[in-house]
């Protein structure tokens, strides 16, 4: 097992956190020293793609992606493909075009080398010396400094939420949302356990268009299994640190 080669390692960070972006970037410098890399904003304008140009076995690819916090669902999907076919070539897909958009290159290394060289060297030295707690503190400080240079590449994102109760209702609404996703790739959702005591579950939709998000929420509320339920809904801008 593990002899099939992958020509490129990609990490998909499906959120807006610049702290997490920097964590992955600096960790990769230790894990993949000297390997050429590029950073992109995903085509949705929300998450980050990191691409490392190195040929590795499928097993090595999966291990590296796990250590660099690649999206967990993406890793599981790749592992299933590999388990079904040990000669599978496409276990590391990272779409550069999706939802009628293209990913956008972010000159992260250029920004760091030009404006934050001392800070970057300090973080790298801390990581290489095994002082991860101190390194993470410096990463958080650097994220605050570098944020104004990264944010212009990104699009604002909104989240729409519907709180509800009951496992049967959860299964039913997940079926509705899954069916929509199969027909419309712009429809992004997740169901989370709720931190609010009055709700067991929260259905969350993600969109860069606030008006479209409201329309989708109200349609789900009024036209699906949620219509007879006491299910409050709300929209807020998604903010990441």
Which residues, other chains included, contact 47 with Cβ-Cβ below 8 Å and sequence gap of 6+? Answer: 12, 13, 14, 15, 16, 41
Same domain? For 113 and 205 the reply is no
**Rounded Cα–Cα distance for residues 207 and 156 (Å):** 9
Whether residues 129 and 21 fall in one domain: yes
Tokens linked to 108: 């992260």
What is the torsional sign of CA 71, 74, 78, 80? positive
The pLDDT score that the predictor gives to residue 130 is 94
The token duo for 5 is 């080669």
Contact, 236 vs 158, CB < 8 A? yes
pLDDT digits (tens, 9 = 90+) for 70-90: 988 889 989 998 999 988 878
Q: In the chain, what is the greatest distance between 2 CA atoms, to the nearest angstrom?
A: 59
Q: Are residues 16 and 108 in the same domain?
A: yes
Domain range for residue 226? 158-237
Instruction: Average the pLDDT over 187-212 and give the result.
Output: 91
Task: Please state the rounded mean pLDDT for residues 103-109.
Answer: 92
Clarify whether residues 9 and 120 are in a common domain: yes
> 45 with 122, same domain?
yes
Query: For residues 17 and 41, is the Cβ–Cβ distance under 8 A?
Result: no
Average pLDDT, the chain: 90
Range of lowest pLDDT (33-37, 82-86, 114-118): 82-86
Same domain, 46 and 130: yes
The domain tally of the chain equals 2
Label the pairing between strands 97-98 and 101-102.
antiparallel
Q: What is the pLDDT of residue 101?
A: 57
| Distance (Å, whole) CA 239 – CA 241 | 7
């Amino acid at each position: 097992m593990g002899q099939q080669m992958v020509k490129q390692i990609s990490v998909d960070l499906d959120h807006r956190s610049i702290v997490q972006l920097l964590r992955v970037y600096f960790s990769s410098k230790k894990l993949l020293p000297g390997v050429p890399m590029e950073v992109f904003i995903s085509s949705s304008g929300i998450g980050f793609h990191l691409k490392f140009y190195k040929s590795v076995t499928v097993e090595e690819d999966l291990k590296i992606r796990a250590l660099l916090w690649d999206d967990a669902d993406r890793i599981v999907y790749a592992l299933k493909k590999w388990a079904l076919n040990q000669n599978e070539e496409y276990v590391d897909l990272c779409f550069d075009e999706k939802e009628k958009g293209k990913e956008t290159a972010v000159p992260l290394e250029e920004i760091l080398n030009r404006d934050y060289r001392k800070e970057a060297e300090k973080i790298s030295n801390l990581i290489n010396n095994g002082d991860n707690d101190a390194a993470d503190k410096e990463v958080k400080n650097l994220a605050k400094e570098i944020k104004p240079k990264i944010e212009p590449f990104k699009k604002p994102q909104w989240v729409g939420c519907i709180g509800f109760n009951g496992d049967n209702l959860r299964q039913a609404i997940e079926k509705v949302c899954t069916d929509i996703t199969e027909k419309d790739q712009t429809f992004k959702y997740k169901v989370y356990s709720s931190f609010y005591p009055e709700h067991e579950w929260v259905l969350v939709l993600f969109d860069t268009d606030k008006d479209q998000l409201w329309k989708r929420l109200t349609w789900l509320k009024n036209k699906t299994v949620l219509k007879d339920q006491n299910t409050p809904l709300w929209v807020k801008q998604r903010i990441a640190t």
